[in-house]
Amino acid sequence: MEKSKKRYEISVIIPIYNVGDILIETLNSLSNQTFKNVEYILVDDGSTDNSPALMRNFAKQQDHVRIISQTNKGPAAARNRGLENAKGKYICFVDSDDILPPDSLEILYNCAKKYDCDLVTGASKRFNSKKEWYIKSHVKHNLMKSGHKTIDKNPELFYSIGPCAKLYKRSLLEGIFFPENLRFGEDQPVVLHAYLNAKNIYTINQVVYLYRLREGNSASLTQEINQKPIEILDSLLRMISITEEIFSKYKKTSVFLKSKYFERVLSYEVWSAVNGALLTKDSSIQKNAFNMLNSWLEKLDAALVEKLLPTLNHVFIDLLTKRAILIKVNAKKEYFTLMGTLLTKINLDQINMTTIKNYKSIDYSIKTNSLFSVYKNSLCSLLKKHINKKRIKNFLLKRIIYTLSNILPRAKTLVLATNNSEVLQGNLLAIYKEVTEFYPDKKVSVFLKKDRNFVELIYLYYKIGRSRWIFIDDYYHQLYGLKANKNSEIVQTWHAGGAFKRFGFSALSYRESNSYDFEKKAHSFYTKILVSSPNVIKEYSEAFNADENKIIPLGIPRTDFFYSRSFKTTAAENFHKKYPELKKKKLILYAPTFRGNVAQRQKFNLKLDLDYLQEHLDEEYTILLKLHPSTKDTISDMDSYKFILDMSHEDINVLMIVSYLMITDYSSVIFEYSILRKPIIFFAYDLEDYLSERGFYFDYKSNVPGPIAKNTAELTGIINQNKFDLQKVSNFCNYYIEGNQGATTKRVLDEIFQEH
């Protein structure tokens, strides 16, 4: 059968324009899809680089690829051409610089068929050359929570308003096209139509899409906004006009639903364009921006203004006032006109005192035709930002906000809080996935590593004060000195497994230790502490100066996937697809820990003699270096050696799965690795010095589950001999990870939830 006549289940539409440097990664992710009843429609939007050649080569290798060429008209026109030619029962959009995980289409399709969905949405991540991470706004608004949804009951879906990471039933998009006269925001009307008209929406919490964060010389959206703020603002306001027409045709449209969409667009896209206009410091651009906003605001419905009041205050008063010093004098007339229009629509009784103060300064400025008052407020905002009022702030947050919140009835909410990372990972990620999947009656609030303003800190302490369950994974200074409500649980999940290096109160006598008072303040508020085995209760009780009845030896949530055969198989397959040259190699993971204090650990001095290894290590081996997250500097002198690769940007769990053996020193990663029952070598070239720095809970030399090497020659000899006592590894695991056979997260949550 000719491929042009074949009926497909899914049509994947990919608009392509001048992405030759990265297109091959996207195309490879398509060819690696496990779902095969699919056609790929590649729409060349007038590319002038090598993109067309890559597309043709891809089409030669696949029997289900069509290429459509057009002059450059933008992504909207390209997607429309794809829709016109699509033959599939379902439609999926992919951008040409992004990646689909291998099972994405299969997961989306199976869900669509199982639940007879008009629209399926999946979880997404961002990625760059170094790492992957969940999208903050998606985590914040709990977009990944799986289950049936409608836009009326789940307006948080507006925070995923792009066309990708979704599977649409073809009938849902019949007669619907992307507005080709828009160059920015052109995708939102189509997705809005889909949300409003889909009778059955289902969200899955599996990652089905990876958004690339462009690096290097490729212009980012931020750069584009700063270069073309008026063009972008004009396009966005015209896009909003189109979406208003779409809302008017939707029978169930409410002011509330409409305000939720506008809240998202104003806070993200519109404010970015306005800020871009301010940053140009060009009076003509600023005048145009203020005039355009004023024209739009004048037409805004009064009922919608009332619902949008917090967002309008935030964007036009709080944010704009703080940046008012950027407003050029020649643009003040237009700025005053915009603010005057806003003042006529606002009821001051409904807003806070700070915002009222800003309104009054604006009102005074309008009457006096002077920007002085607004400039003063802008400068005051900048000064306040840099004045240290730490004691007052901590008093307000901990003694007032937290205390008052603690008095209120307990909310059926979990807080997951960490200062370790800007993305959810480890134990907290495992708990997040389990709760969102299997405990739909419980809400989750996530607080990641971030510089927060005072309002955001108030929200954090309010949530912590009200929530019934708070989970942390390390030191968490926001809780220092606090006491838990008698009906709340503050659970320390600790980022390290087993009991290896001394920490907390156990390390007080060592060189790199904190004071007793500091440790007391840091650990006294825990109500429960998770550990990997009953055999380490004593050590954790000592480390946290906690009663042993607070220690729960149910295991480590993040280790669950090490017991999942399907996860390990998929992780290995994905890794080898990404690095096919390593498939026939025996991979050695080298995962050293950091050395020294906070400043010293930023840099790691590689003590491996690479020349010696190159000459004496058997050719079947390749070493994968994974530096500790605390180490920021890369090791530059490795580039000329083909047998060792810096994999610090990769997930250490995946590296553990694909490796044949691991080399480490004093890292607690040995506990997770022992689950895999693989060889471990300890490269302890500075053991005596490290003993004085941290110390161990057991005698290092007699208890580590593998041979110890003091130099590169010894290390190489151990590897080449390939004789390891795996029974010792197994015994080590059985002692420190006792009883864990997967499903740890479920056991932990069942134990904690049943008490409340």
pLDDT(612) > 80: yes
pLDDT(157) > 70: yes
Does residue 542 sit in helix, strand or coil?
A: helix
User: For position 507, what pLDDT does the model report?
Assistant: 81
- The answer to whether the CB of 105 falls within 8 A of the CB of 33 is yes
User: For position 224, what pLDDT does the model report?
Assistant: 63
pLDDT(338) > 90: no
Give the model confidence (pLDDT) of 386-433 as tens digits.
Answer: 445 667 788 888 888 998 998 999 999 999 999 988 889 999 999 999
| Beta-strand relationship, 38-45 and 65-70 | parallel
- The residues facing 167 across adjacent strands are 120
Question: Rounded distance, CA 690 to CA 700, Å?
Answer: 11
Return the residue matching tokens 């995946």. 654
Show the 3-state SS of 321-342: HHCHHHCCHHHHHHHHHHHHHH
Question: Rounded distance, CA 168 to CA 188, Å?
Answer: 15
pLDDT(336) > 50: yes
pLDDT(323) > 80: no
Q: Which of 600, 743, 593, 749 is nearest to 683 (CA)?
A: 593
Q: Up-side HSE of residue 20: CA atoms within 13 Å toward CB?
A: 12
Give the model confidence (pLDDT) of 2-49 as tens digits.
Answer: 445 678 999 999 999 999 999 999 999 999 999 999 999 999 999 999
Phi, psi at 303, each rounded to 5°: -65, -35
pLDDT(281) > 60: yes
Instruction: Give the pLDDT band (50/70/90) at residue 740.
Output: low
DSSP state of 170: G
Question: Rounded distance, CA 89 to CA 10, Å?
Answer: 6
Question: Rounded distance, CA 134 to CA 210, Å?
Answer: 9
Better-predicted residue by pLDDT, 266 or 310: 266
For the chain, the residue count is 756
pLDDT(600) > 60: no
User: For position 346, what pLDDT does the model report?
Assistant: 67
Phi, psi at 335, each rounded to 5°: -65, -45
Lowest mean pLDDT among 102-111, 275-284, 455-464, 598-607: 598-607
DSSP secondary structure string for all residues of 457-507: HHHHHHHHHHEEEEEESS--GGGTT----TT-EEEE--SS-SS-B--GGGG
User: For position 3, what pLDDT does the model report?
Assistant: 47
Instruction: Give the pLDDT band (50/70/90) at residue 559.
Output: very high
* Mean of all residue pLDDT scores within the chain: 87
Better-predicted residue by pLDDT, 361 or 573: 573
Q: Which pairs with CB-CB distance under 8 Å and at least 24 residues apart come from 386-395?
A: 393/454, 393/457
User: For position 310, what pLDDT does the model report?
Assistant: 82
pLDDT(375) > 50: no
Instruction: Give the pLDDT band (50/70/90) at residue 121.
Output: very high
Looking at the chain, the whole-number percentage of residues with pLDDT higher than 70 is: 88
- What sections of 120-172 are H helices per DSSP? 136-140
Question: Rounded distance, CA 128 to CA 628, Å?
Answer: 19
User: For position 364, what pLDDT does the model report?
Assistant: 47
Looking at the chain, the whole-number percentage of residues with pLDDT higher than 90 is: 61
pLDDT(306) > 50: yes
Instruction: Report the amino acid identity of residue 731.
Output: N
pLDDT(599) > 60: no
| Beta-strand relationship, 166-169 and 90-93 | antiparallel
- The answer for residues whose C-beta is within 8 angstroms of residue 385's C-beta and 6 or more apart is none
The highest-confidence range among 131-140, 207-216, 504-513, by mean pLDDT, is: 207-216
Return the residue matching tokens 């949008």. 308
For 447, the token pair is 């607080």
pLDDT(368) > 60: no
pTM for this model (two decimals): 0.59
For 120, the token pair is 């399926």
Q: Which of 216, 302, 316 is nearest to 267 (CA)?
A: 316
Q: Which of 417, 523, 527, 541 is nearest to 480 (CA)?
A: 523
User: For position 225, what pLDDT does the model report?
Assistant: 66
Instruction: Give the pLDDT band (50/70/90) at residue 604.
Output: confident
Lowest mean pLDDT among 10-14, 99-103, 145-149, 739-743: 739-743
Lowest mean pLDDT among 320-324, 454-458, 632-636: 632-636
Average pLDDT over residues 506-521: 76
pLDDT(218) > 60: no
pLDDT(677) > 90: yes
- The answer to whether the CB of 586 falls within 8 A of the CB of 621 is yes
Lowest mean pLDDT among 123-127, 373-377, 429-433, 448-452: 373-377
pLDDT(739) > 80: no
User: For position 322, what pLDDT does the model report?
Assistant: 72
Q: What angle do CA 676, 681, 686 make, to 5 degrees?
A: 135
- The answer to whether the CB of 519 falls within 8 A of the CB of 505 is yes
- The answer to whether the CB of 147 falls within 8 A of the CB of 122 is no
